[in-house]
Amino acid sequence: MTEVKREVFGQMPQEEGGEVVEKFVLKSDSVKVEILSLGCIIAALETKDRDGEFSDVVLGFDTLEGYTRKHPFFGAVVGRVANRIAKGRFTVDGKEYQLFLNNGPNSLHGGARGFDKVLWSPQVLPNGVCFFRLSPDGEEGYPGDLKVWVTYTLCGGELAINYRAQTSKTTPINLTNHAYFNLAGQGSRDIYDHKFSIEADSYLPVDNTKIPTGEVAAVQGTGFDFRQPVELGQHLQKFHLDGFDHNFCLRQAQARRLAARACHPPTGRVMEVHTTQPGIQFYTGNNLDGSLKGKGTIAYPRHSAFCLETQNWPDAVNKHHFPNALLWPGEEYNHTTWLVFNTA
């Protein structure tokens, strides 16, 4: 059985409307997750180690104030288009659209005020919560009225996140959750002792602004080969890498399949990521620099967390050999990701 509780988390600043932000607590016998109505943010996720001890394994803040200031999308749903769009430009039905540039020369995670920074309307479910919002035509430069539903459900050790959307005009869409994990417990110094595996035979090389070059490269014989589990710290040293922020190309299928697995041998905590999406972005917290203080006023240094963001391939709206990134009127965008927590 999953318990669902709702409570007030805080109030938005007056200049942003002053509305109440709620927190929804989903609790099973092995996982407890807290989700905010602001940005559908996963603010905490507690899971057991092999001795049955609970720890919070996601980075974030104790109060709403942290989330209303600038932060690197901790725990949030990002959209309309997660990841990067080259030069913030794309063409649909012969019309060119220009987005706000918020990542060097590119548009990242929906623009200046993406889905992570807005309040969503919640509906409590027996085993979770469904958030809804209407993204109006022209919001952040994107075409069409877009109705979006994000549903979190918890069953035992499995947290499912379902994303659905419908549009009035053809629009690019790519939704994901941007939680930062450390299976040793948030606030732990680094993730070098974590082991990772990713079910991908290929990945996307990027240019110096993190836009895919268009090549789909084999992982075989490279530092991008995670088909067998590798310990991150040793792996970075072996291949002289300073971290990952890359899309791995999953087997193309509409069905649920295993995408990645993270394991922390000292505590025994394991997280599996299953998805219907064609890609997964592996990010090792390269831009964390210790300047942000999170829960318990702990600083979050470089490589102190990882993200495994299930999504379409970056810049797919401009790369016609990448999986389709467009949603048409009369169709429905529908993807699910499952985070499965257990111990080894």
* DSSP notation for 284-304: --TT--S--B-GGG-B--TTS
Distance CA 183, CA 56 (A): 8
Look at the alpha carbons of 26, 300, 200, 86 in this order and tell me if their dihedral is positive or negative.
positive
Paired tokens of 72: 């690197």
CATH number of 3-343: 2.70.98.10
Q: Which residues are annotated as a binding site for beta-D-galactose?
A: 83-84, 178-180, 245
Name the residue among 49, 58, 3 with its Cα closest to residue 29.
Answer: 3
Residue type present at position 332: E
pLDDT value at position 254?
82
Answering whether pTM is above 0.95, one says yes
pLDDT in tens, the chain (344 residues): 999 999 999 999 998 889 999 999 999 999 999 999 999 999 999 999 999 999 999 999 999 999 999 999 999 999 999 999 999 999 999 999 999 999 899 999 999 999 999 999 999 999 999 999 999 999 999 999 999 999 999 999 999 999 999 999 999 999 999 999 999 999 999 999 999 999 999 999 999 999 999 999 999 999 999 999 999 999 999 999 999 999 999 998 889 999 999 999 999 999 999 999 999 999 999 999 999 999 999 999 999 999 999 999 999 999 999 999 999 999 999 999 999 999 99
Grouping H, G, I as helix, E, B as strand and the rest as coil, residue 168 is coil
Query: Which pLDDT does position 252 carry in this prediction?
Result: 84
- The sign of the torsion formed by the CA atoms of 255, 175, 77, 102 equals positive
pLDDT of residue 33: 98
What pLDDT, on the 0 to 100 scale, is given for residue 230?
Answer: 98
178 is catalytic: yes
Catalytic residue among 109, 140, 309, 335: 309
> Residue 325: exposed, middle, or buried by beta-carbon count in 10 A (0-12, 13-18, 19+)?
buried
Contacts 24+ apart (CB under 8 A), 159-162: 159/26, 159/31, 159/33, 159/45, 159/338, 159/339, 159/340, 159/341, 160/128, 160/336, 160/337, 160/338, 160/339, 161/336, 161/337, 161/338, 161/339, 162/334, 162/335, 162/336
Cα diameter, the chain: 59
Angstrom distance (rounded) from CA 30 to CA 20: 29
> Considering only CA atoms, which of 270, 59, 292, 304 is closest in space to residue 192?
304
pLDDT at 253: 82
Write out the two tokens for 171.
């629009």
Single out the catalytic residue among 178, 246, 274, 335.
Answer: 178
Residue 306 DSSP code = B
Q: Which tokens in the block code for residue 300?
A: 């979050």
71 as an active site residue: the answer is: no
Query: Which among 60, 34, 4, 274 has a CA at the least distance from the CA of 179?
Result: 60
Instruction: Name the residue among 35, 140, 40, 133 with its Cα closest to residue 88.
Output: 140
Cβ neighbours, 10 Å, residue 252? 8
